[in-house]
Amino acid sequence: MAPSDRRNRHILVAALGMLILVGLPLVVDLITLLEVSIYIVYAILALSLGFIWGYGGILCFGQAAFFGLGAYTYAVAAINVGESTGPFLLAIVLPGAFAFLLGAMMFYGRISDVYMGVMTLVVTLILFKFINSTANETWVVGTARLGGFNGIPSFPTLNIPGDPGAVLDPEQFFYVAMAFLIGVYFLLHWLMTTHFGRVVVAIRENETRAELLGYDVRLYKTAVFAIGGAVGGLAGALFANWGNFVSPGLFGLAQSATIIIWVIVGGLGTLLGPVIGAVLIQYITTLLGQQGVINNAFVLGAILVLFVLLLPKGLAPAIMQIVTRRRRPVRSKPQRGGHGS
């Protein structure tokens, strides 16, 4: 794709984002706005995996770990502090740091991508099991009870920074979430245009070559993983604020699978793909929830199987291929990871 095409596309995305940010609250009712808000939070979560998988070539089976960690960090910290700004930042930093440590352990250990899938899955399971078993009232952090399988039902939600009394209403929350989505999207986009981004893509394309050029693959991958973790944590903090409730299910394998489905349906190697995938799949989930015959897991599972078999690059690259076919040969998109031995 020619650079001008790419620039036009980003202007279009930015314009569309701003239009939704400003226009949507004017045309829909509050219930719909709440529904859209959660789609936005999920879109940010999808971006976190879309970044590390689509650009970093790292398939994380436990992205839900960072999501859950962000949500719980926010909830616990907000109860202790009584306002939202510090806890919100902590909910980004802590999952990011956790991802950094986990990533460093895996990448410096030179674990193959299949075993990395296993590791991330196991870490998620540990967190789930641990949080799930903290129902006993001895499990407290400061003044916050972890609540085990009951979750944490109530905590201070987002307020205007510096003014704990000025709690955001649902409409204001929509603005915040949408602004974060636009911000994260363009931050990640910008990151990919820097030297760092170029090296990350180079590593995805050919790890050995990048290494022989003198780039420390382990460090770059760890950094990508940490950024993905931080964005996942951000989505978690927003999620906690959306429902004013966190539960161990956030760490669940089902949650991790859902994130992977968003990204694979939307498309790897793009940022728009995961956003589209998250919104589309969650919309389908909402529709399915309104009837009682066909099970949601059944449909999601079928979608995942079909996409892996028939459309492994997802919708976005396929659509772009159709759009740009006549102009230039289409640039090859990343393969998912390598193939372990």
Site size toward other proteins (CB under 8 A) is 74
Helix, strand or coil, per DSSP, at residue 307: helix
Identify which of residues 89 and 303 has a Cβ nearer to other proteins in the complex: 303
Identify which of residues 30 and 305 has a Cβ nearer to other proteins in the complex: 305
Distance, C-alpha 127 to centroid of its chain: 18
Tell whether residue 336 is a contact of other proteins (CB under 8 A). Answer: yes
Q: The tokens of 338 are what?
A: 């390598």
Identify which of residues 43 and 200 has a Cβ nearer to other proteins in the complex: 200
> In the complex, what is the shortest distance from the CB of residue 207 to other proteins, in angstroms, rounded to a whole number?
10
Residue matched to tokens 């006549």 = 326
Stretch touching other proteins by CB under 8 A, among 17-25, 163-171, 243-251, 294-302: 294-302
Whole-number Cα distances in Å, 267 to 55, 273, 321: 11, 5, 12
> In the complex, what is the shortest distance from the CB of residue 277 to other proteins, in angstroms, rounded to a whole number?
14
Stretch touching other proteins by CB under 8 A, among 79-87, 104-112, 139-147, 238-246: 104-112
Stretch touching other proteins by CB under 8 A, among 43-51, 172-180, 276-284, 330-338: 330-338
> In the complex, what is the shortest distance from the CB of residue 13 to other proteins, in angstroms, rounded to a whole number?
22
Residue matched to tokens 């991330």 = 120
At 29, which amino acid appears?
D
> In the complex, what is the shortest distance from the CB of residue 195 to other proteins, in angstroms, rounded to a whole number?
5
Alpha helices in the chain (DSSP H): 3-27, 30-49, 63-81, 85-108, 113-132, 170-193, 195-205, 207-212, 217-243, 253-266, 272-289, 296-310, 315-324
Q: Cα(113)–Cα(13) distance, rounded to whole angstroms?
A: 33
> In the complex, what is the shortest distance from the CB of residue 15 to other proteins, in angstroms, rounded to a whole number?
28
Length of the chain: 341
According to CB under 8 A, which one of 141, 217, 284, 311 is a site residue for other proteins? 217
Q: Cα(136)–Cα(149) distance, rounded to whole angstroms?
A: 10
Helix, strand or coil, per DSSP, at residue 159: strand
According to CB under 8 A, which one of 101, 104, 160, 257 is a site residue for other proteins? 257
Tell whether residue 260 is a contact of other proteins (CB under 8 A). Answer: yes
Tell whether residue 298 is a contact of other proteins (CB under 8 A). Answer: yes
Tell whether residue 293 is a contact of other proteins (CB under 8 A). Answer: yes
Degrees, nearest 5: CA angle 46-275-192:
80
Tell whether residue 138 is a contact of other proteins (CB under 8 A). Answer: no
Stretch touching other proteins by CB under 8 A, among 16-24, 77-85, 137-145, 203-211: 203-211
Whole-number Cα distances in Å, 282 to 185, 216, 299, 300: 19, 38, 12, 10
Q: The tokens of 303 are what?
A: 């979608």
Tell whether residue 166 is a contact of other proteins (CB under 8 A). Answer: no
Stretch touching other proteins by CB under 8 A, among 19-27, 40-48, 164-172, 307-315: 307-315
Tell whether residue 199 is a contact of other proteins (CB under 8 A). Answer: yes
According to CB under 8 A, which one of 100, 186, 215, 245 is a site residue for other proteins? 215
